[in-house]
Copies of this chain bind each other. A is one copy, B any other.
């Protein structure tokens, strides 16, 4: 059976995701509509990707009865209100990472999905990358013994991405790329919570984080350590070291297509490449695997994925919150969620939330 996608936003990742969707069986996935705040952009997108319907507002797409599942790829601070709008209209939601600006916002969306009885998942595509699936199997079966350390660097100059420098637009790179490093640790130490998190980094005067190093400690001397930066290129490899082997996730580790045995330098797993021309990001064809997971879950009537569960999302965001706290990055969203009197009650909306939404819509 086919699921019918609505693409919410016409940004770079929305384009890559749509291109990846179109590599899947047309009997299983169909893109039926796209929406942008600018009708012309939506029209151009529809033409480029051969999407039958396009809208100049997210609301119109939300109300399109033909759309079953929405891919929300708007800017980070708008995820909460856009996802809610989709859920209000009964649509399943795959929300681009970070699902929320903090754990509290993720909790809010999860509660909303439960209440609305719709599927919701954070689009952590690395989770469904066959290389990560293989890695997870090796880890969980202890094929390489017990994991002792996970390590990665993620550095790409991104100062030209304007929103990343603007705090009001959810700027900073912990939520954009640090999340992949935290996610790697969540795979390496499969769903285990670190005992201690130590983060140190570099912020602009405005309080936007552009680079950071993080140490996470697990019981018995196990640890993860990573550095990420939006200022410079880095090695961008990851390694997971266990008692009986060291696995390298070849660059770019967050969407790697190769696992390597570090000692022999031998390739131990390779993701079959699907050609996807003119994409914005590296290895974007790997986005198809999270789309397949969404379909499988919806077919089974599930509200969440058991592979990237709501708890998994919350666990990653709890760590991200702590890292940002130590770095000194505070968003408006943190302040409103930190102050109980301003916490939004389910179903109602406060002024702050409304103004965020009107900005986003």
A155 within 8 A of B: yes
Complex interface: stretch among A33-41, A57-65, A220-228: A220-228
Closest approach, in angstroms, between the C-beta of A232 and any C-beta of chain B?
A: 4
Q: How many copies does the complex hold?
A: 2
* CB-defined contacts of A229 to chain B, threshold 8 Å: 148-149, 241
Complex interface: stretch among A14-22, A42-50, A209-217, A313-321: A209-217
* CB-defined contacts of A245 to chain B, threshold 8 Å: 233
**Is the Cβ of B243 less than 8 Å from the Cβ of A232?**
yes
Known: A231-B221, A237-B235. A198 touches B200 (CB 8 A): yes
**Is the Cβ of B233 less than 8 Å from the Cβ of A241?**
yes
**Is the Cβ of A232 less than 8 Å from the Cβ of B242?**
yes
Looking at A196, A223, A235, which has the most chain B CB atoms within 10 Å of its CB? A235
A281 within 8 A of B: no
Closest approach, in angstroms, between the C-beta of A182 and any C-beta of chain B?
A: 15
Known: A148-B232, A237-B235, A242-B232. A227 touches B225 (CB 8 A): yes
Name the contact of A234 in the complex, choosing from B201, B237, B246 (C-beta under 8 A): B246
Closest approach, in angstroms, between the C-beta of A143 and any C-beta of chain B?
A: 16
> Beta-carbon contacts of A229-266 to B below 8 Å, as 1s and 0s?
10111110101011101101000000000000011000
* CB-defined contacts of A155 to chain B, threshold 8 Å: 149, 241
Closest approach, in angstroms, between the C-beta of A196 and any C-beta of chain B?
A: 7
Closest approach, in angstroms, between the C-beta of A277 and any C-beta of chain B?
A: 22
**Is the Cβ of A153 less than 8 Å from the Cβ of B239?**
yes
Residue of B nearest to A148 (CB): B232
Give complex CA distance A315, B213 in Å: 22
Give complex CA distance A246, B237 in Å: 13
* CB-defined contacts of A76 to chain B, threshold 8 Å: none
**Is the Cβ of A215 less than 8 Å from the Cβ of B198?**
yes
**Is the Cβ of B196 less than 8 Å from the Cβ of A200?**
yes
* CB-defined contacts of A215 to chain B, threshold 8 Å: 198, 200, 213, 215, 227
* CB-defined contacts of A225 to chain B, threshold 8 Å: 213, 225-227
**Is the Cβ of B213 less than 8 Å from the Cβ of A233?**
no
**Is the Cβ of A221 less than 8 Å from the Cβ of B211?**
yes
Closest approach, in angstroms, between the C-beta of A188 and any C-beta of chain B?
A: 13
Give complex CA distance A234, B241 in Å: 6
* CB-defined contacts of A239 to chain B, threshold 8 Å: 153, 234-235
Looking at A151, A245, A248, which has the most chain B CB atoms within 10 Å of its CB? A151
**Is the Cβ of B232 less than 8 Å from the Cβ of A149?**
yes
Closest approach, in angstroms, between the C-beta of A145 and any C-beta of chain B?
A: 9
Known: A149-B227, A196-B200, A202-B221. A233 touches B210 (CB 8 A): no
Closest approach, in angstroms, between the C-beta of A269 and any C-beta of chain B?
A: 17
Known pairs A211-B223, A234-B239, A235-B239. 17 more at Cβ < 8 A?
A148-B211, A148-B229, A148-B232, A151-B227, A151-B235, A153-B239, A201-B223, A202-B223, A211-B221, A221-B231, A232-B242, A233-B246, A233-B263, A235-B237, A235-B246, A235-B248, A235-B262
